[in-house]
Amino acid sequence: MLGNRYSKKARPKDEGEKPFWISFADLMTALMTLFLVVMAVSLMIVTKKINEATQAEDQRSAEILNICQSIKHSVKLKDAGIEVDCKNNRINFGEAGRFSHNDYRLNEVGRNRLNTIVPIILEEANNPQGEKWFKQIVIEGFTDTDGSYLYNLNLSLRRSEWVMCSLLDPKFSSGLTLTEQQKNQVKQLFLAGGVSFNSAKDSKEASRRVELRMQFYGLKEKESAEPQPHFVSAPIETCQLTR
């Protein structure tokens, strides 16, 4: 009898703790599930933003390529001897874009090619995609390695400035008929820059050259860019360089 009485009252020690441990396990499972849901949603949001950014950059690249290709395949450029590199967004005039030793003036063929390409660039810059992405056209003058760096830097600047003068000064622009509106657009869009003998070619003759480098806005750059100045119609200033 005594043994049976004690055997009925005996209980496992942890029997009273089971409800607590079961509740704690459920809580941890719920927290883990919530964490996984939050992580999955966050991952989806990040992935969506990356995909949108990638698609936007792909669209930008495609539209910029379309701008360059439109210039390259213009009917007016057929057999003009002008090379348009749509990989590096550069335009050169071949041998006609070369300068004589220590000279900053283009020859007549080079001037004719410049007169051909500039109206095409301006026309493309006025199209919807051009207005959206065109930032500026840098006129880059180059030199050979004869002489010091600073001397050649000044010479390369004079070469690019001479090209700019040929676009704006009637004395330099024989054969180029730009309207006042187009000349004002040249002031806004074109920039003269010198490179000295950086990016020299295999020969000194090929190094003495001028190129047009097209620059385009980045995805967020256009939104933060300062408004371009608007030039009013006025007599074009006389360039200080000699013809």
> Cβ(156)–Cβ(239) under 8 Å?
no
220 belongs to a structural domain: yes
User: 46 — phi, psi (to 5°)?
Assistant: -65, -45
CATH number at residue 178: 3.30.1330.60
Contact by Cβ (8 Å): 142, 200: yes
Q: Compute the C-alpha angle 68/89/62, nearest 5°.
A: 50
CA distance 201 to 143: 10
Question: How far from 9 is each of 2, 6, 137, CA to CA, in Å?
Answer: 11, 5, 96
Q: pLDDT at position 236, please? A: 47
Listed in sequence order, the residues at least 6 apart from 133 whose beta carbon sits closer than 8 Å to its beta carbon are: 60, 63, 64, 67, 216, 217, 222
Domain for residue 209, yes or no? yes
Indicate whether 36 belongs to any domain: no
In angstroms, the Cα distances linking 134 to 90, 141, 153, 189, 206 are 13, 21, 27, 8, 28
pLDDT in tens, the chain (243 residues): 445 554 555 555 555 555 555 576 777 777 788 888 888 888 888 877 777 778 888 999 999 999 999 999 998 888 888 999 999 999 999 889 999 999 999 888 998 899 999 999 999 999 999 999 999 999 999 999 999 999 999 999 999 999 999 888 878 766 778 888 998 999 999 999 999 888 888 899 999 999 999 999 998 886 666 655 554 444 445 677 776
Phi and psi (nearest 5°) for 216? -130, 155
The boundaries of the domain holding residue 110 are: 51-224
Domain count for the chain: 1
- pLDDT of 170: 77
CA 215 to chain centre: 5
Q: Write the DSSP string, 192-239.
A: EEE-TTTT--SSHHHHSBEEEEEEE--TTHHHHPPPPP-PPP-PPPPP
User: How much is the pLDDT for 226?
Assistant: 61
Count Cα neighbours of 85 within 13 Å in the Cβ-side half-sphere.
12
Could you tell me the pTM of the whole model?
0.75
Q: Is residue 1 part of a domain?
A: no
Domain presence at residue 21: no
Q: Report yes or no on 20 lying in a domain.
A: no
In a domain, 27, yes or no: no
The per-residue b/e assignment along 164-202, b for 16 or more CB within 10 angstroms, e otherwise, is bbbbbbeebbeebebeeebbbbbbebbbbebbbbeebee
pLDDT at 192: 93
Q: CA 135 to CA 221: how far, in whole Å?
A: 10
**pLDDT score for 144:** 93
* pLDDT score for 233: 43
> What span, in angstroms and rounded, lies between the C-alpha atoms of 40 and 44?
6
Tokens of residue 70, six digits: 């439109």
* Cβ atoms of 82 and 69 closer than 8 Å: no
Between CA 206 and CA 94 the distance in angstroms is: 9
46 within some domain = no
